[in-house]
Amino acid sequence: MQSETARVEAFSDGIFAIAITLLILEIKVPKHEAGPLSLALLRRWPSYVAFLLSFAYIGVMWINHHRMFTYIRRSTDLLLSLNLLLMLGVTVVPFPTAVLAEHLDGPDARTAALVYNATFVVIAVVFNLLWRYAVRRGLLHEATLAAAMNISSQYAVGPLLYLACFVIAWFNVRASVAANVALALFFALPPSIMKKRPQAHDH
């Protein structure tokens, strides 16, 4: 029997695939008049940084979305709406990526970094809303409730960490990019790493 959330996952996978593919379109081939090709390619380093960072972020979002729906056994109208809201955030990602790529090495770098980080703050909030709604409404497989708490712990700090990247961008753009890389790696970790508590004192 097909899972009740199968269509949600298939639809979401398609959006993730399109969004992550669109990222490469922002890396333009240098024109002949741009000088030696090797130097022209090197000058496009902001595009490479923005591309790789957003590729990592979308990839990590897809991983976490997949993890989330391995726990969710059924859907509701509100769950579908929250997932659509999340997909809206995913489809927007190529735009702030292009903004960051265009302005990372210019006078508007801070504004570009703030726009970029604000996008992921909003996405992190929606991710939390979707997951916590599923938990609250009892939409999870009963056998996975204990393991699901690890996801809750990891997601809970997400908006705060993305907000921290936003604040860092105000003072130091390159430091915020480094923080973004660290954040992508953090959310790629299995949620089980987040909670490893001894069971000896449990009653």
User: Which residue bears the tokens 């430091």?
Assistant: 175
User: What percentage of residues in the chain have a pLDDT greater than 70?
Assistant: 87
Dihedral over alpha carbons 64, 89, 125, 79 (to 10 degrees): -70
Helix (H) or strand (E) holding 174: helix 173-188
With b meaning 16 or more CB within 10 Å and e meaning fewer, what string describes 90-115?
beebbebbbbbbbbbeeeebebbbbb
Predicted local confidence at residue 198, as pLDDT: 43
The low-confidence residues of the chain, meaning pLDDT below 50, are 1-2, 196-203
Distance (Å) of CA 123 to CA 27, 32, 73, 117: 24, 39, 23, 10
Helices (H) then strands (E): counts for the chain: 9, 0
The pLDDT assigned to 197 comes to 46
Give me the pLDDT at residue 108, please.
Answer: 93
pTM: 0.84
Q: In the prediction, which pLDDT does 199 show?
A: 43
